Amino acid sequence: MSRDFFSDLTDEEKEIIVHKGTERPFSGEYNDSFLEGVFCCRACGSFLYESTSKFDSGCGWPSFDDEIADAVVRYEDNSLGRKRTEICCARCDGHLGHVFHGEKATKKDTRHCVNSLSIKFIDKNKIEKVTVGAGCFWKVEYLFKNTEGVYNVKSGYMGGHTKNPTYNEVCSGSTNHIEVVEIYFNPNILTFLELLNIFWSNHKPASIDSQNGDSGSQYRSAIFCYSNLQLEQAFESKKEYQEKIEQQIVTTIIEAEVFYKAEEYHQDYLNKNNLDSCSL
């Protein structure tokens, strides 16, 4: 069964997110908030807006002049007898607000007018990122999305030499990319080492270019780090896990490269297709 993102919302939140209501202007908690961080969907947790895109439009609702790539979908809205463009979360389709152009309030000439009740703010100090490859990204994404302390997970490709690779190109082995998941997590809830323990114990790090029946260079084991501290901890974690198994670990540990988000149908694949699991 597909995940229900809305059952835990309050009645007030459902009125906005599910029933496409609008909160009173200047009443939302994020209207005058300009802290550094990320705004995510209140219903499903997907990252929607960087705080750097937020600006004071004076309209009474949080305003953003850009969204995180592929995070927002648009629909034509004629509910008030005039044409407007509704914006919703691309993952759960929860209502966010409307987007307007031509006001010249910023250089991007765009205003996402968003209800505070549709979003949640995460302070930058509570966000850390790592990208890992551990076989088919459908299962890896599902695993970490259901891990406490993880905010956001995206399936994609990293480690190759072709720009904007497609799934078919990656599967052919011609681009040398790995199927990976980009993981944003709260290190105060889930430490980097705890996350790596989940990584090690949920795939076969001694297996070369294959994981449980899936074969190909895109399935190789890898940890892509975003800081020197992550690199140090990853190598130490690998050393500790090596002592627990006889086979030689072949996991690559290197600095993060360019992350290419996989095609939309790969995102949240198991949930979208009502699948409980796949081989990992």
C-alpha 12/C-alpha 29 separation (Å) is: 14
Q: Is the four-CA dihedral 216, 219, 220, 225 of positive or negative sign?
A: positive
Lowest-pLDDT range, 16-25, 31-40, 105-114, 208-217?
208-217
For residue 23, is it within any domain?
yes
For residue 225, is it within any domain?
yes
DSSP secondary-structure letter at 148?
Answer: T
Q: Which of 123, 142, 167 is the last residue of a domain?
A: 123
One domain for residues 46 and 133: no
Q: Which residues contact 64 (CB under 8 A, 6 or more apart)?
A: 39, 49, 53, 54, 55, 111, 112, 114
What is the model's pLDDT at position 1?
34
Question: pLDDT averaged over the chain?
Answer: 94
One domain for residues 178 and 267: yes
One domain for residues 196 and 248: yes
The neighbour count for residue 175, using CB atoms within 10 Å, is 21
Q: In this structure, are strands 128-133 and 178-185 parallel, antiparallel, or unpaired?
A: antiparallel
For residue 280, is it within any domain?
no
One domain for residues 153 and 263: yes
C-alpha 165/C-alpha 177 separation (Å) is: 8
One domain for residues 176 and 111: no
Which residues sit opposite 222 in a β-bridge?
Answer: 133, 252
What is the model's pLDDT at position 191?
97
Active site residue 113: yes
CATH code of residue 227? 3.30.1060.10
For residue 5, is it within any domain?
no
> What mean pLDDT is predicted for residues 100-121?
97
For residue 151, is it within any domain?
yes
One domain for residues 82 and 145: no
| Structural domain boundaries enclosing 160 | 127-272
pLDDT tens digit string along 186-239?
Answer: 999 999 999 999 999 999 999 999 898 889 999 999 999 999 999 999 999 999
> What mean pLDDT is predicted for residues 117-143?
95
One domain for residues 82 and 180: no
CATH code of residue 88? 2.170.150.20
One domain for residues 254 and 131: yes
Confidence of residue 153 (pLDDT cuts 50, 70, 90): very high
One domain for residues 116 and 160: no
For residue 2, is it within any domain?
no
Q: Which of 40, 41, 89, 136 is catalytic?
A: 136
Q: Which of 123, 152, 168 is the last residue of a domain?
A: 123
Whole-model pTM: value is 0.82
Q: Which of 41, 89, 113, 225 is catalytic?
A: 113
pLDDT tens digit string along 243-274?
Answer: 999 999 999 999 999 999 999 889 988 877 77
Q: Helices 137-145 and 192-201, interaxial angle, to 10°?
A: 140
- Give the number of domains in the chain: 2
- Sort residue 102 into left (φ over 0), alpha (ψ -120 to 50) or beta: left
C-alpha 262/C-alpha 86 separation (Å) is: 25
The neighbour count for residue 77, using CB atoms within 10 Å, is 15
One domain for residues 179 and 117: no
For residue 24, is it within any domain?
yes
For residue 6, is it within any domain?
no
One domain for residues 70 and 157: no
Q: Which of 92, 123, 154 is the last residue of a domain?
A: 123
What is the model's pLDDT at position 276?
65
Percent residues over pLDDT 90 in the chain = 88
Q: For residue 155, how many C-alpha atoms fall within 13 Å in the half-sphere facing its CB?
A: 25
Residue 244 tokens, joined: 């627990």
- Do 159 and 257 form a contact (C-beta atoms < 8 A)? yes
The answer on pLDDT for 279 being more than 50 is no
- Edge-to-edge strand order for the sheet containing 84-89? 54-55, 63-64, 110-114, 95-101, 84-89, 72-77
One domain for residues 131 and 268: yes
What is the model's pLDDT at position 280?
44
The answer on pLDDT for 69 being more than 90 is no
Lowest-pLDDT range, 95-99, 172-176, 265-269?
265-269
- Do 114 and 33 form a contact (C-beta atoms < 8 A)? no
